[in-house]
Structures are given as C-alpha cells and as structure tokens.
C-alpha cells in the first residue's frame, strides 16, 4: 500500500515527502502537475515509489484503480494564488478535486489529511475554527471554506479526515512559487540583490510594516501533519500556525540579520535598519485593498486539545534557520 501526497512537487507537499522519508516511509505516490517543470527539483532528494499527473491519478481513482491500495492521503495540491480571478478554475482544482478524494477515502476508510487555509477567516479578528469567525475575502478562501463545510457535514464514525488551516507558511522548497512565495524568501532575495528590502506601507490601521501575521515554519507544518498520521482516531478542522502574530518588520529584521551574520556583520535593530534605508516601505497595492488580511493569529485551543503539544518556532528562530539554509544552497 502507498501513501499518496498530492501537490508533492510543491512547497508543503515536497517538505511532507521529506518528512515521511525521515520516518522511514518511502512507498509514496507523488501526484502533481508538472506543467511548471522546474518543480521537479523539490523531489530530487526525496524517495518515492511512483509519480502520476494529477489528472491521470484522478481518472484512475474514479475507475477503481486504487481500491485497497492507499494507506493514507495527504492532499496538498491546490491553486494557492490568493489573487486568482478565474473562479471556475479555482473551484475545479480546490473544491471538486478535493471532493473526489474525500469520496474515495470515505468509501475506502482511508485517512485523509488535507490543506485548508487561514484565508477562510478573511477580515475577522478572531481565528477560531467556527463558522462565526469565517468570511473569506477571495475565491481562493471561499473554495477552501466550501470544502471544510462539506467535511463538517460528514456523518460520525467514518475514517479519519483532518483539515489543517495553514497560516503564513515559509521555508525551503518554495522557490517555484514566484510572487506567492513567502515574504521571508522575497526579503532574502531583495537583500542579496539590492542591499535592502521592501515592505508595504501601513494599512488596516497598522503602521508601516506593522501588519501582523501568524508566520509558521514549514518544519512545524510537517510535524503537525505527521502528528495526525500517527493519531488516526483524531479528526476535525484545526488551525496550523504558531498562535503568535508577528509583524512583517519582524520578518524583515530576522531575514536581514541572518544575512548580515553570514557576512560577518553584527545584528541591527529595526530602527537602525530603517535609518540605514535597508528596510524601506512602498505604497500599499490598490488591487489588494479589501482583499488583504492585515492581522492573523491562529487560535490553537483545538489543536492543543487534540493532543499536539510541541512548541512552534518563532519568526526569529525559524526565519534565521531558513535564511541559513538558503545561503547554504546558494
């Protein structure tokens, strides 16, 4: 039997494959869309048993080709562009595809651990896994919420189904994501190329660079996924973040200081980096107005109650580790 990872050549999917490998699991069917061929690099150092295009996998699945052949499904594949305007495409990839996997897993009594998103909360100030806190600002967030709602309607007593609402994830193997890569990745590249980084000016009542998000390392995201794999009796929808909002300024300072350390230079404060114009601010984009979350912070009450007790990396810890990994690869 195989473990299926959809979106396996993507950011979180590839890190999850590596995490499974670290657990001694190599019977992995990697499923993805390699139209963007460079994504293959994310799997070069991974051990898998086979690869299938996402459309071929779905066709075989519906034809009964995987009956009694799948140990668990990690569904990470999605259109993750929060600014995507082609709603038909987003719903087909994020909702319809997910529903087909859910139907298969329910019939086979196969665990399904899938990627939801903090985008389901929209502009709400409380980030708790409750319909009262939900209100997506874009079709991406709505596609994720609609599937979560379908999962909530499942009758009790079935196989494990876990939805993880990822907050702002950063870490290795995201280089293919372009503008949708994390701000930590963009700050690293900006500083290396230009000697300074660019953040948005104030918005949503926050000062320059002071918009706050729950930035979570992909290392922690993988650990949360594997926790649920190891606890197959636990189902539900859970936030996957650190539980602590930090500013974009915090991320910029951590990224720049990690680069400075590699250059043999001492760490600098936010004020010093602002004065030296190493941290600069650009106008807030007009196309993001009304569609931008200026503040997110995961409520971890449900995750902790489910038994996940491990601490999460702070921005200072996680971003520094990530930048050192990028420098080593550079």
Which active-site residues does the annotation give? 140, 177
> Do 4 and 74 touch, CB atoms closer than 8 A?
yes
Distance between CA atoms of residues 55 and 327, nearest Å:
36
Distance between CA atoms of residues 106 and 102, nearest Å:
6
**Of the candidates 320, 4, 5, which has an alpha carbon nearest to the alpha carbon of residue 187?**
320
Distance between CA atoms of residues 79 and 165, nearest Å:
15
DSSP notation for 261-317: HHTT-----HHHHHHTTSEEEEPPPGGGTTS--SB-----HHHHHTT-------HHH
Distance between CA atoms of residues 26 and 17, nearest Å:
8
Distance between CA atoms of residues 256 and 197, nearest Å:
8
Distance between CA atoms of residues 256 and 190, nearest Å:
10
Would you call 246 helix, strand, or coil by DSSP?
Answer: strand
Q: List CB contacts of 145: < 8 A, sequence separation 6 or more.
A: 120, 134, 136
Question: What angle separates helix 183-194 from helix 248-262, to the nearest 10 degrees?
Answer: 50
């Amino acid at each position: 039997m195989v473990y299926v990872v959809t979106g396996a050549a993507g950011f979180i999917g590839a890190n999850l494959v590596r995490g499974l490998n670290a657990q001694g699991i190599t019977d992995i069917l990697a499923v993805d869309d390699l139209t963007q061929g460079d994504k293959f690099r994310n799997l070069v150092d991974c051990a898998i048993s086979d690869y299938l295009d996402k459309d071929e996998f779905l066709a075989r699945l519906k034809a009964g080709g995987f009956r009694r052949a799948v140990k668990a499904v990690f569904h990470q594949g999605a259109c993750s562009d929060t600014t995507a305007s082609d709603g038909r495409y987003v719903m087909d990839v994020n909702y319809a595809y997910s529903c087909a996997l859910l139907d298969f897993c329910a019939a086979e009594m196969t665990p399904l651990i899938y990627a939801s998103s903090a985008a389901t909360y929209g502009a709400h100030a409380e980030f708790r896994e409750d319909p009262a806190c939900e209100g997506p600002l874009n079709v991406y967030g709505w596609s994720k919420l609609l599937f979560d709602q379908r999962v909530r309607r499942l009758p009790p007593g079935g196989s494990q189904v876990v939805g993880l609402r990822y907050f702002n994830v950063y870490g290795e193997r995201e280089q293919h994501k372009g503008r949708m890569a994390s701000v930590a990745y963009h700050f690293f590249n900006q500083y290396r190329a230009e000697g300074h980084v660019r953040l948005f000016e104030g918005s949503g009542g926050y000062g320059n660079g002071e918009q706050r998000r729950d930035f979570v390392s992909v290392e922690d995201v993988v650990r949360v996924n594997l926790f649920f794999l190891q606890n197959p009796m636990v189902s539900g929808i859970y936030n996957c973040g650190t539980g602590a909002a930090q500013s974009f300024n915090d991320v910029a300072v951590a990224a720049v200081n990690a680069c400075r350390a590699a250059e043999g230079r001492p760490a600098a404060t936010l004020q010093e980096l602002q004065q030296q114009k190493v941290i600069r601010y650009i106008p807030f984009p007009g196309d993001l107005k009304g569609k931008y979350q200026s503040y997110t912070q995961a409520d971890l009450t449900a995750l902790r109650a489910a038994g996940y007790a491990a601490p999460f990396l702070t921005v200072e810890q996680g971003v520094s580790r990530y930048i050192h990994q990028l420098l080593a690869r550079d």
